[in-house]
């Protein structure tokens, strides 16, 4: 099974600043998908951004962008202009190209302070 590692259990950032969350993964596959999910206190898991491994261009969704380094098996999430509503648990996840199960990391708790 693929392993997803998030090495930062907790992080904090001031409002309007930029923060980067780290994620590494282990796989022998060449094609796969990577995701960042956000889980606010409401508990619902919400998709933030996703990346196809066969695409070299880094995915971007408004204030959220990723730095995908395939050779290094690294997939970090950058949040720009942080907002109080970004406070949540953030999970990195992996899915095989032909699969349907998400393999999650343990998560990073992000606190955005005024």
Partner 1 sequence: ETGVTQTPRHLVMGMTNKKSLKCEQHLGHNAMYWYKQSAKKPLELMFVYNFKEQTENNSVPSRFSPECPNSSHLFLHLHTLQPEDSALYLCASSQGLGPERYGYTFGSGTRLTVV
Please check whether residue 87 is in contact with residue 15, taking contact to mean a CB–CB distance below 8 angstroms: no
Binds partner 1 by CB under 8 A, chosen from 48, 75, 91, 110: 91
Q: How many angstroms separate the CA atoms of 54 and 65, rounded?
A: 17
Q: How many angstroms separate the CA atoms of 56 and 76, rounded?
A: 14
How far apart are CB 78 and partner 1 at their closest, in Å? 22
User: Within 10 A of 56 (CB to CB), how many other CB atoms are there?
Assistant: 8
Binds partner 1 by CB under 8 A, chosen from 20, 45, 63, 111: 45
Binds partner 1 by CB under 8 A, chosen from 75, 103, 108, 112: 103
Is 79 one of the binding residues for partner 1 (CB under 8 A)?
A: no
Binds partner 1 by CB under 8 A, chosen from 47, 62, 83, 113: 47
| Residue 54 token pair | 């066969």
């Amino acid at each position: 099974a693929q392993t997803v590692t998030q090495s930062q259990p907790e992080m904090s950032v001031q409002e309007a600043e930029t923060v980067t969350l780290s994620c590494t993964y282990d796989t022998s596959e060449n094609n796969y998908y990577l995701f960042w999910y956000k889980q606010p206190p409401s508990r619902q898991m919400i998709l933030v951004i996703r990346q196809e491994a066969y695409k070299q261009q880094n995915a971007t969704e408004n204030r959220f962008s990723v730095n995908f380094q395939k050779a290094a098996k690294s997939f970090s999430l950058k949040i720009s202009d942080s907002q109080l509503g970004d406070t949540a648990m953030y999970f990195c996840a992996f899915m095989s190209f032909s699969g349907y199960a998400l393999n999650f990391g343990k998560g990073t708790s992000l606190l955005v302070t005024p």
